[in-house]
Amino acid sequence: MKIAVFVGSIRNGRHGRTVGQWALDQLQARGDGNTYELIDLIEQDLDQLTAAVPPIMAAGTYDEVKTTAWSGTISSYDGFIFVTPEYNASVPGTMKNAFDLLKVEWEGKPVGFLSYGGGGGVRAVNHWRDIVANVGMLPLEAQAALAFDDHFVDFQFAPNEQTVELLEAVAAELVQVGEKATVNA
Ligand SMILES: Cc1cc2nc3c(=O)[nH]c(=O)nc-3n(C[C@H](O)[C@H](O)[C@H](O)COP(=O)(O)O)c2cc1C
């Protein structure tokens, strides 16, 4: 399987990239035969969703060149780990826009969450669960919610044994669900 760690925050000085890069390194170190790659939203050239045709009607064919490229990127993965902060009790708007641009490309694929924030980003993930289910993704039960008090020191990401265990639970379920989804496809 080819799995993407999708970093969705793009702020100057964001923590998202550090958390995502750490997760990628951990996942690659599993040596489980799967391919893990990073998608950093800041490196993607995406439009705001202005298309007249809603993605659910577009069925994977888009008039917009940038959305077509984004479609190709997401189509190439079998599963995802969304690295998401919590902004105002919900998901980051830029990440939601990137998600909303597509539909069939996400469908039927497992997605795990690695969230962070004062309360671990739990409220963002609660919203993500509804969002991803709406396009037919398979949200995992395991969830790595990193509260600042437990996984950061002086506002710097400082993963510990518990951080590793939380991510490992997500990874193990992702691989298991992903393999089942591939067999049933
Ligand atoms: C617009 C905005 C809203 C935020 N709202 C929340 C919030 O509702 N809950 C929370 O725990 N943290 C909140 N925070 C703090 C973020 O968790 C913290 O800034 C985190 O580092 C954001 O991730 P990033 O650095 O990858 O952008 C907010 C931050 C921003 C920029």
Residue ID of nearest Cα to ligand 1 atom 4 = 87
Asked whether residue 158 carries a pLDDT value surpassing 80, the answer given is yes
The CB of 85 under 6 Å from ligand 1? The reply is yes
pLDDT (0 to 100) of residue 20: 98
- The pLDDT of 145-171, averaged and rounded, is 98
User: Read out DSSP for 55-66?
Assistant: HHHHTT--S-HH
- Token duo for residue 38: 């990073």
Q: Which residues pair with 144 in a beta bridge?
A: 114
- Burial code of 96-115, b = ≥16 C-beta within 10 A, e = fewer? bebbebbbbbbeebbbbbbb
In the predicted model, is pLDDT for residue 111 greater than 80? yes
For the whole prediction, is pTM greater than 0.95? yes
Angle at which helix 122-134 crosses helix 93-100, to 10 degrees, equals: 10
Q: Which residue has the tokens 């690659």?
A: 28
pLDDT over 90 at 109, yes or no: yes
Q: Please compute the mean of the pLDDT values over residues 31-55 and round it to a whole number.
A: 97
pLDDT at 65 over 90: yes
3-state secondary structure of 84: strand
Q: What is the share, in percent, of the chain residues with pLDDT greater than 90?
A: 95
**Residue 184 reports pLDDT greater than 80:** no
Is the pLDDT reported for residue 180 higher than 90? no
C-alpha 106/C-alpha 85 separation (Å) is 20
Residue the block writes with tokens 């007249």: 52
Mean pLDDT (the chain, rounded): 97
**Helix (H), strand (E) at residue 9:** none
Q: Is the CB of 14 under 6 A from ligand 1?
A: yes
pLDDT tens column, 132-142:
999 999 999 99
Distance 64 CA to ligand 1 centre (A): 31
* Beta-strand pair 156-157/152-153: antiparallel
Question: In this structure, what token pair is assigned to residue 86?
Answer: 């919590």
Is the pLDDT confidence value at 185 over 80? Answer: no
